[in-house]
Amino acid sequence: MKKVKIAGRKVFPIGLGTSNMGDKADKFEQEVEAIRVGLDNGVQVIDTAEMYGYGNAERLVAQAIKPSDYSREDLFLISKVLPSNASKKDLPISLENSLKRLNTDYFTSVALN
């Protein structure tokens, strides 16, 4: 499969979305496993958001990509903020909260032309 470039690195063009994941506690382990199956089969991009499951989707992703299981440097994590949190004051707070829920210290920066 042909790869695409993101932030100067080539990745598979298919990623995983986590909308509607993390909403039900009884599905948590099954959803973690679904993400891991994707990662084990070449997925490098995971899309999540603070609004998915009120942050539970980000916690789910954190569990799925635990540092002992996957190399963080090989993954591109994408998260989004609620429009109500997109102000100059609230955006940094939302970013920090997402990073904490994802148990990581960075998102990959992408410059769009």
- Report percent pLDDT > 90 for the chain: 69
The conformation of residue 20, written as its DSSP 8-state character, comes to: T
**3 state DSSP class of 67:** coil
By annotation, the residues acting in catalysis are: 52
Q: Are the CB atoms for 76 and 108 separated by under 8 Å?
A: yes
Q: Where are the beta strands (DSSP E) in the chain?
A: 4-6, 9-11, 16-17, 45-47, 76-78
Q: Are the CB atoms for 25 and 60 separated by under 8 Å?
A: no
Q: Say whether pLDDT at 112 is over 50.
A: no
Q: Say whether pLDDT at 96 is over 90.
A: yes
Q: Tell me the pTM.
A: 0.88
